[in-house]
Amino acid sequence: MYIHKNGVGVRVNMDSLFFDHALLPEGWARDVRIDLGADGLIATVAPGAKRPASGTSGRIAVPGMANLHSHAFQRAMAGLGEWRGDGDDSFWTWRETMYRFLARLRPEDLNAVAAQLYCEMLEAGFTAVGEFHYVHRQTDGAAYDDPAQLSLEIIEAARATGIGLTLLPVFYAQGGFNAAPVIGGQLRFANDPDSFADLVERCGHATKADPRTRLGVAPHSLRAVTAENLTQVVQAASSGPIHIHMAEQTREVEDCLAALDARPVEWLLANHDVDQRWCLIHATHMQPVETGALARSGAVAGLCPITEANLGDGIFDGVRYAENGGRWGIGSDSHIRIDVAEELRSLEYSQRLRDRARGRLVGASQANGRALFDTALAGGARAIDQPMGAIAPGAWCDLVSLDADHPALIGKKDDDWLNGWIFSGDPSCVRDVWAAGRHVVVDGVHLERAAIRAKFAKAMEHLLA
């Protein structure tokens, strides 16, 4: 039974869902009943159950995916960086466009943009997000009266849409290696250790009462924090995930070598106890020894294939990383596209283009789509510290019902449903979505889509005026 609160389905008592087919940890099962607890977690899973008299919740159920890396405000500027100037166009020129865009962003704009983004994520099959949130200050660099003002807007947007949230406040203290000053658009990101500690404490109070909202920290990158600051941030983060941008650009690697006499991943592994709490975002440019060492550390590589392609970052060494047992998950980063299938497809295709061979991230006799999906589920759940990624007791009831009549899926079964979705489908393959037991997407449409889009439209009128 469901009631509706602010347009989002809210479960009010014990209930059950029933699917013709469901992807369980042990594999595909038929006639699966999923009993939901009042806390939004799965209580029991019963394959081979008796079919209900009133019909089923869907024909194909798979776990919801974690989106482990998001900069929510960038959804509003997607496509605006596609103008080439007189010189070379790169990540660094795109970054200047981003800084200019930030000059008009108000708290209410961030709320509207984040809600629109999270609505789209849920419609695509992402049921939780790791928000790498680094805009903390006013346009002139002055603090808001509440240092967590913009973080609170993110939290509110997540709750309004029903998506799970792991908030990752970003520590950003310098404009580049060798203590380069924070200038221009970077002024909105800046904190010192004391002000950052206040920010994290305030975010902790805001997230404490909601088990679906987790808290971690995100030292932005080695170029944006000093070695001393990084140690302080890590020591202060007694629990929760630690995310950091790492080795995204060749120029970043060169600057790190000049400043620290080591490559970024090499330096981090040598100076910190990198373990399963860590998520290294991108980690694109590594030497083979770094790739193997990172894989064996237990950390998660946070891959954002669509954004990495859009920015011309380079190709992650996924084959070597997988051979060393590395864990990875996916994120949509700058939000050029919000598409589970396209992120996974882009990752696999980048490996194929580099190696001129197929099936690069899959073992012998395995389905490509299933292997990619399973790996991303597990890596994403670990990276954002949410009990998800499996239809199993104790996990959040995060479910995606695929449309068995979609042209990419029709007539297929089992792992070929995932092959079809990932290699020939898109978000239109997603029919219904439950997040922590809440039925938030029905027939491909988020329950609050119309109201959320109207607020987004007003925000865009201001941002693009």
Is 21 a member of any domain? yes
Q: Residue 37 maps to which CATH number?
A: 2.30.40.10
Is 161 a member of any domain? no
- If pLDDT is split at 50, 70 and 90, which confidence band does 7 have? very low
Task: Give pTM, 2 decimals.
Answer: 0.95
Is 365 a member of any domain? no
Find, among 310, 368, 305, the residue nearest to 339 by Cα: 305
* pLDDT, tens digit (0-9, with 9 covering 90-100), for 293-338: 999 999 999 999 999 999 999 999 999 999 999 999 999 999 999 9
- Does the annotation count 446 as an active-site position? no
Q: Which domain holds residue 407?
A: 2-63+390-451
Is 417 a member of any domain? yes
Long-range CB contacts (within 8 A, 24+) of 74-83: 74/98, 74/333, 74/334, 74/335, 75/113, 75/114, 75/116, 75/117, 75/120, 75/335, 75/338, 76/101, 76/105, 76/109, 76/113, 76/459, 76/460, 76/463, 77/101, 78/334, 78/335, 78/336, 79/336
Is 139 a member of any domain? no
Domain count, the chain: 1
Find, among 433, 465, 462, the residue nearest to 449 by Cα: 433
Is 94 a member of any domain? no
Q: Which two tokens stand for residue 31?
A: 């006639």
Question: Cβ-count burial of 30 within 10 angstroms (0-12 exposed, 13-18 middle, 19+ buried)?
Answer: exposed
Is 19 a member of any domain? yes
- If pLDDT is split at 50, 70 and 90, which confidence band does 137 have? very high
User: Mean pLDDT, to the nearest integer, of 54-78?
Assistant: 95
Cα 30 to Cα 23: distance, rounded to the nearest angstrom: 9
- If pLDDT is split at 50, 70 and 90, which confidence band does 55 have? confident
Catalytic residue among 255, 313, 333, 339: 333
pLDDT at 239: 87
Q: Which two tokens stand for residue 292?
A: 């193997």
Count how many Cα atoms sit within 13 Å of the Cα of residue 63 in the half-sphere of its side chain. Answer: 31
Find, among 119, 83, 68, the residue nearest to 386 by Cα: 68
Is 411 a member of any domain? yes
Catalytic residue among 220, 245, 282, 439: 282
Give the position of tokens 């038929």. Answer: 30
- Does the annotation count 133 as an active-site position? no
Cα 212 to Cα 288: distance, rounded to the nearest angstrom: 37
Q: SS3 letters for 395-461?
A: CECCEEEECCCCCCCCCCCCHHHHHHHHHHCCHHHEEEEEECCEEEEECCEECCHHHHHHHHHHHHH
